[in-house]
Amino acid sequence: MWTRESGGLVLTFHLAGINNQNFLMRDDQTGSYWQQITGEAVSGPLRGRRLTLVASDELSFGLWAAEEPGGAVLKSVPKYASDYEKKDWEVNMKKERIVLSFADPARGLEPRTLLLGIQAFGASRAFPYDAVIQEKLVLDRVGTEPVLLVVGPDGESVRVFRDRIPGTDGHPAFYRTLDDKQAHPKDAAWLKQATAGPLLMDEATGSEWNFQGCAISGKALGLCLEPIEAIKDYWFDWRNYNPKTTVYKRRQ
């Protein structure tokens, strides 16, 4: 998600082409073409400019509704609603062919492996989505900076935080305190309570943290971890724009 202001103009974008299965956007105001994944103008009067990334999440609707009961949801366009993606569309997408080829057998990833890509602290790192979902809590590093990837109580949503409690030194270990075997993500009342309630505990302060990355008890009460942007992407696309990326391997 990007701000759509550049060069003193508010831009309106349209999908205007494809660059190796990552789309190109054209703005009405200048006719410049922009690459979706990088937010960079690749042609036209604004060539070389970059849009500013807007912090966003990819969450299950149930979890988001529990967090933001007053939120607004994009409405379907009735004319096209019957053509929208089906429930199992991600399964079908895995069968779609790709147009990029690069020899990379060492990574052991299929081109359409879904991953969470992070560009931060001068490095790029990819976390296979399925591995994160199964592990529930991943403590790792991007570049030299420790981070944590946390799966929400719904078992679907993921948020990434910098592993540094504001005002303290060091990078404490975090533990998951939610009993996922007792989770009822389809129960809206349970999900609302679980979304605001304790999910993690850190060993440095013994504080409890919720899925928003904020401490809700203990010495760190009221403090929040710094969120880090993660992009859900296919391996072939991420690899194309992040050739030096490293890949997280699941603990055995």
Partner 1 sequence: MERTSRRAWGHPWFLLPLVLVSFAASIYPIYVIRPFRHQGPRELAAALEIIQIRPPIELACAILALGGLLWYWRVQPMVSRRRLAAAGAFLVCTFAVVTKVNIFELMFHPDTHPQFVSIQQAKVDADDMVMTVKIGGVAHAYPIRTMGYHHIINDVVGHEPIVATY
Contact footprint for partner 1 (CB under 8 A): 1-5, 10-21, 23-26, 31, 33, 36, 42-44, 51, 54-62, 64-65, 68-77, 80, 83-87, 89, 97, 99-100, 154, 156-157, 185-186, 188, 191
Helical H segments across 94-157, by residue range: 129-135
The minimum distance between CB 7 and partner 1, in angstroms, equals: 13
| Closest to partner 1 by CB, 101 or 144 | 101
The minimum distance between CB 61 and partner 1, in angstroms, equals: 5
| Closest to partner 1 by CB, 37 or 139 | 37
| Closest to partner 1 by CB, 1 or 173 | 1
User: Do 154 and 57 contact (CB within 8 A), yes or no?
Assistant: no
The minimum distance between CB 141 and partner 1, in angstroms, equals: 26
| Residue where the block lists tokens 């009961």 | 69
Please, which contacts does 204-211 make with residues 24 or more away whose CB atoms are closer than 8 Å? Answer: 204/165, 204/168, 204/170, 204/172, 204/173, 205/165, 205/168, 205/172, 207/165, 208/177, 209/174, 211/63, 211/150, 211/152, 211/153, 211/157, 211/159
| Closest to partner 1 by CB, 22 or 207 | 22
| Closest to partner 1 by CB, 114 or 204 | 114
Whole-angstrom Cα distance, residue 140 to residue 159?
Answer: 13
Whole-angstrom Cα distance, residue 78 to residue 244?
Answer: 43
The minimum distance between CB 106 and partner 1, in angstroms, equals: 23
The minimum distance between CB 154 and partner 1, in angstroms, equals: 7
